[in-house]
Amino acid sequence: MPLQSSELLVLDRQTRLPALADVLVRFARLTLIWSHRARTRRALSQLDTARLADIGLTREMALDEAAKPFWRA
């Protein structure tokens, strides 16, 4: 079963990790962030105009956000 982001935070805070383990934990956390961005941007691009209006966005704003690469905040 894959680690959840909360488990990665615990791993990062418990004790000083060896350098390689620290890099791997940071990379895993970054991968989770990137995956979340990609999923939410994909979902945003699929919302209809009424749903976008509910959250205060225009179609253009949603498409601009959805067009961003996953590594850009």
What pTM, to 2 d.p., does this model score?
A: 0.70
Name every residue whose Cβ is closer than 8 Å to that of residue 21 and which is 6 or more positions away in sequence: none
Of 3, 4, 25, residue with least CA distance to 14: 25
Q: pLDDT tens, 35-44?
A: 999 999 999 9
Residue type for position 40: T
CB count within 10 Å of CB 54 equals 10
Residue 48 banded pLDDT, cuts 50, 70, 90:
very high
Q: pLDDT tens, 14-42?
A: 668 799 999 999 999 999 999 999 999 99
- CA distances 57 to 22, 26, 50, 62, 64, Å, are 39, 33, 10, 6, 11
Query: 61 with 41: CB under 8 angstroms?
Result: no
